[in-house]
Amino acid sequence: MTAACPACAAMPPVEDVVSAPALQFSLPTIHCAACISKIERGLARMPGIGHVRVNLSLKRLSVEGHVDATRVQAALTDLGFEAYPLDMAALTNTRDDEGRKLLTRMAVAGFAMMNVMLLSVAVWSGAEDATRDLFHLISALITLPVVAYAGQPFYKNAWSALQVGRLNMDVPISLAIALAAGMSLFETLNSGEHAYFDAAVALTFFLLIGRYMDHQTRSAARSAAKELTALEVHTAEKVTDNGTETTPVSNLAVGDRVLVPSGARVPVDGTLTSGKGLMDRSFLTGESAAVPVAAGDLLQAGEINLAAPFTLEATAVGEDTTLRRIAALVETAENSRNSYTRMADKAAQFYAPAVHLLALFAFVMWMFIDGDLRHAINVAIAVLIITCPCALGLAVPAVSTAAISRLFSEGFLVKHASALERLAEVTHVVLDKTGTLTRPAAMVPEAMTAGERGVAKALAQASHHPLSRALLEQLTDTTVAPLSDIREVAGQGVEGMWGDTPVRLGRGHWLEASFDGLGLRIGTDTAHQIEAPETLRDGVADALAQIDLPCEVLTGDSEGPAQALAKQLALPVTAQARPEDKLARLDALAAQGERVLMIGDGLNDTAALASAHASIAPAVALEASRNAADVVILKEDFAALPLVLKVARATRDLSKQNFNIATIYNLFSIPLALAGFATPLAAALAMSISSITVLLNSQRMRRVK
């Protein structure tokens, strides 16, 4: 028998070496090295795990080995950490290929720059004639391929602009790199004393640093969208006549019934059709507390079932799910344009041709002054480089993207970058009451019969008003009455036909009752009063205390509850305001020169939200209200609401500061370049420093409290 090689004998069997694909989990609550150590030590003891790696910056865990994701998630919960499985296919499909390419080009340019500068040191130290020419030729062999490869992002953008007869900031950049490299090669082939290969490659390197930092800043919001996309479920348990069958989520249609097991994520938006449930919505809303749900409640894709299995009826699938729409909004909001962006674009459009004319002027001027062609070309190159409008182009997008990303991390979905500009201009705040500032409850009278309860439930199901939602919570065990011709009257209630009998659920005066609150009326019978005590939403009092602007409340509620709220919050409150009343009040404030922020959630708020200077709606708002709003609050807690205004003002201030930085840089640098005091290398350093300064100034957004 042949003896085995010792190394082979010590090697584990092949099936043990090849592990299953790595499992990925999002860990939103980790914050330090101690968390990493605790997780890695805790999971390393589990059988079947081969390798554990925690990335603190991404807050992500990678687990390799033969182990079930459910066991890993349970172990992480036991260790005291929230964990959410991620779909790596979704993350891989949206990987940052552009960032990887920029980083690779930057690394190549940086390595080449160091080597070319070492060769330049020898020339600067006194190398002459053949030795100097040899060092210049070696520098050329290094520089020319590197700038051809590493500078491609600039060349492609410049060529695209020139093909349509435009000039952009990449045109002078590309021209400066080409002239620096071409002039240096000309000098080398003609045994010239000076060559600027170090300037050409250094210029490329520093420009790539600025371009990469800009890309990373813009990717902040996109990374949040990727995490949301990765939460999507790709298979589901479809309920059929023969039981359940596993099917791709892409094959589900509106109306399909889906079984959601315990601990599983909801695959589509839908209505709960069985019993009660307990949902974890923390990854979508930031709220850690579990949310109880009952039959008839709406569920969103990405939520996690914390209780017994339940079934739901799909109401939105694919691109129409709430999770997918939020991810799309986060990803596209940064591309919206505000007046600062448009001003920067106009300045850049004027600036690009001005740069070329200035460089031409420098060339002609120095040819007239000393007649030295080489010196005149070098000054023109330095002018092209130092006047590149990179900082101007980055001034606004860098700030807007950082602001949108910051607000999303705090639970606010900004739908348009222009919203930040308008929020910064707000001078007056108008708020709705029910569902916005308060959370109602409902107390069903014992005198109501089973049939009347069924009518109340049927009418309540047809409305998204917070009072209707509260009433449904009290009628979970009630059989829905068959109604027809159901319609909602904005600001009043819901009505329909129960057989031949008209039925109404709504405000007392609408029911011709003697009370002011919520009630139910069957035909011509006396209306039943439904008590609806309200409590302030968490964080409302603190938020209003911190908002340094005049605030008032417009509510369609009756005078009694409205005045109780006025006393509690010490705010002026207008009661029994219909949709047209709210709109008229906003118009009156606008006529007085006020720029109004409207915060509301109901159907009767939609017109006001759309007409206000800026608007905010909570996530529980009616879909029409969310669509009309500029910002959606994903959390239940309102305490962070003042942060939206502070970030908006910081966005305006930092954008102006970045414009000033770019302006001051040009006021000092352009005269120096025209006077011939800036070499191409010094110009590259100065221009890159200005861009990096703008980007670093934009990151001050992260420190807004």
With beta carbons less than 8 A apart as the criterion, state whether 395 and 658 touch: yes
Could you give the CA distance from residue 32 to residue 35 in angstroms, rounded to a whole number?
5
SS3 53: strand
What is the sign of the dihedral through the CA atoms of 563, 567, 568 and 574?
positive
Burial class of residue 583 (count of CB atoms within 10 Å of its CB; 0-12, 13-18, 19+): buried
What is the DSSP secondary-structure string of 640-656?
A: THHHHHHHHHHHHHHHH
Q: Which residues are known to be catalytic?
A: 432
The conformation of residue 702, written as its DSSP 8-state character, comes to G
Could you give the CA distance from residue 134 to residue 143 in angstroms, rounded to a whole number?
14
With beta carbons less than 8 A apart as the criterion, state whether 308 and 268 touch: no
Could you give the CA distance from residue 312 to residue 317 in angstroms, rounded to a whole number?
13
What CA–CA distances, in Å, run from 279 to 78, 299, 309, 655, 669? 19, 9, 11, 41, 59
With beta carbons less than 8 A apart as the criterion, state whether 459 and 510 touch: no
SS3 604: helix
Could you give the CA distance from residue 254 to residue 270 in angstroms, rounded to a whole number?
9
Could you give the CA distance from residue 180 to residue 188 in angstroms, rounded to a whole number?
12
| Closest to 491 (Cα-Cα) out of 553, 576, 390 | 576
Reading the block at residue 638, the tokens are 């309102």
Could you give the CA distance from residue 27 to residue 75 in angstroms, rounded to a whole number?
13
Location of structure tokens 């709504």: 506
Could you give the CA distance from residue 87 to residue 673 in angstroms, rounded to a whole number?
53
The conformation of residue 379, written as its DSSP 8-state character, comes to H
With beta carbons less than 8 A apart as the criterion, state whether 317 and 238 touch: no
Could you give the CA distance from residue 544 to residue 436 in angstroms, rounded to a whole number?
13
Could you give the CA distance from residue 336 to residue 398 in angstroms, rounded to a whole number?
13
- Per DSSP, helices labelled H in 370-449 are 373-386, 390-394, 397-409, 417-424
Could you give the CA distance from residue 481 to residue 96 in angstroms, rounded to a whole number?
54
Could you give the CA distance from residue 630 to residue 634 in angstroms, rounded to a whole number?
13
Q: Count CA within 13 A, CB hemisphere, residue 502.
A: 7
Phi, psi (degrees; rounded to nearest 5) at 369: -75, -55
What is the sign of the dihedral through the CA atoms of 90, 91, 92 and 94?
positive
